[in-house]
Chains A and B, each alone.
Chain A
Amino acid sequence: MSSGFRTYHEVDELRSDLPDQIAAGDERVSVRLASVARVIAVMSGKGGVGKSLVSGLLATALARRGDRVGLVDADLNGPSVPRLLGIEPGVLAESRNGFAPPSSRAGVRVMSMAFLMEPDRALTWREPADAGFVWRGAQERGALREFLSDVAWGELDVLLVDLPPGTQRLAELHALVPGLAGIIAVTIPSAASRDAVARSLDLARRRGLPMPGLVENLSGVRCDACGGLAPLHAGNAGAELAERFRAPLLARLPFDAALGAAADEGRLEEWLAGGGPTAEAVRTMVDVLRAAPATR
């Protein structure tokens, strides 16, 4: 080299341990999840389609069957799982083994940013300047990692991860949990939702992730008189995505005002116990999830 000293790649007497530190953090996830049989992500490319509701229903229904269930609310900026499951924020109990996850009445163990923030407070990060875009992704990935590694999940049959809209968090989760047992995709019938969810499923397919199935939410509104379903949206996204991605359409959940009220009031367990065709559809989904292969 013209300047007379060695270049970066020629200097290798001492190795930086920064990559090792990052790897050690990720390794903590593997160690923690060794006692978890299946990690399953609930995702959608689209916001507002009911991912968290489906996550809460599945988790509660699994717990009612006697399974040991955890639920990570990975929507850091819009956490809603504690409300759906009726869990009030309190003091997080900490031991050397990690934070104890608060439990719902049905026994679902949950970790959510909602436990750490005031209810009317947006999630913001301590940043020295208006350039948070540079490192916010790293901070959010770090928070997801800590939700997985620093929580004393204990022995679980299923750990569900309720992902926010978009594809980035799925990629981060897959990097942290390479043996992800599968993804459940949630859509509504509209063409706009179909297109957004298709992008997410494309990412899942490219990564070779198992797809136990899809759920179409808000598939219609049931007539109290005849029991038939009247459409709420134009489109048939659930069936179209199922065909395109060769994944089973696990359930079509109609709009249900009672379910909406139960979700707002944290009474999903009570709603499931009440029965009915929608609750029956949730129970069918649970059968499929329980048959999913274990996390590798």
Chain B
Amino acid sequence: MKFLCVECDRQMAFDERAVPGDGTMAAVFRCPACGRKTAMLANPMETQLVSSLGVKVGGRTVPNENFEGIRAGVEDPRDEALPAAPLTNPGPVRWNVDAVERLGHVPSFVRGMVKKIYNEYARERGIEEMTPAVMDRARSDLGLEGM
């Protein structure tokens, strides 16, 4: 699928992705000439199809996780089989109350993975406490819109 800015006759470039958490996805494309933006809104079935292929619209912003598709796709796996423990343990990241509350808005089946991404982001930067502000910065830096 490609998007063409008819006015400029230029192919629009991927700009940002949003995953609102209701099974749908939005991908925004921007014309490199005039800056006009168009949002592609995918319904849950279309979103699922992309997800099933193990790809990310607009490209990957975080590396592949082991069993990424299985973790995201299998319904009700054994809790203890795939622990959400960090891959390394360079030091715990404290989550303040507001950050925990915000994490609670993330769909439960991806919450562990999202938390791990935020934790790794914080550890890599020596951040000891997770706050909504850090989450905002991580979203911006890593392209985690909707998380």
Contact = CB atoms under 8 A, between A and B. Distances in A.
Interface of A: 4-6, 8, 11-14, 16-18, 21-22, 25, 28, 89-92, 94-96, 98-99, 115-118, 121, 123-129, 131, 134-136, 138-139, 142-143, 145-146, 150
Contacts of A150: 66-68
A25 B56 CA distance: 12
Given A5-B4, A134-B45, A134-B49, A146 B74 contact: no
B138 interface: no
Interface residues of B, number: 43
A125 B73 contact: yes
Contacts of B133: none
Contact of B67 (A91, A95, A99): A99
B23 to A, nearest CB: 5
Contact residues of A: prevailing secondary structure:
loop
Contacts of A13: 10-11
A139 B52 contact: yes
Contacts of A123: 74
Contacts of B4: 5-6, 11
B68 to A, nearest CB: 7
B40 to A, nearest CB: 13
B48 interface: yes
Contacts, number: 123
Q: Which of A4, A8, A92, A136 has the most chain B CB within a 10 Å cutoff?
A: A92
Interface stretch (B75-83, B90-98, B139-147): B75-83
Interface in B58-72: 59-60, 64, 66-70, 72
Contact of B80 (A8, A91, A129, A131): A91
A202 B75 CA distance: 35
Nearest to B29: A14
27 contacts: A13-B10, A18-B53, A18-B55, A18-B57, A21-B54, A21-B59, A22-B53, A89-B78, A96-B87, A96-B88, A116-B70, A116-B81, A117-B77, A124-B75, A126-B73, A128-B48, A135-B48, A135-B49, A138-B53, A139-B69, A142-B54, A142-B70, A142-B73, A143-B69, A146-B67, A146-B68, A150-B68
B52 A138 contact: yes
Contact of B87 (A17, A94, A126, A143): A94
B44 A128 contact: yes
A125 to B, nearest CB: 5
B110 to A, nearest CB: 10
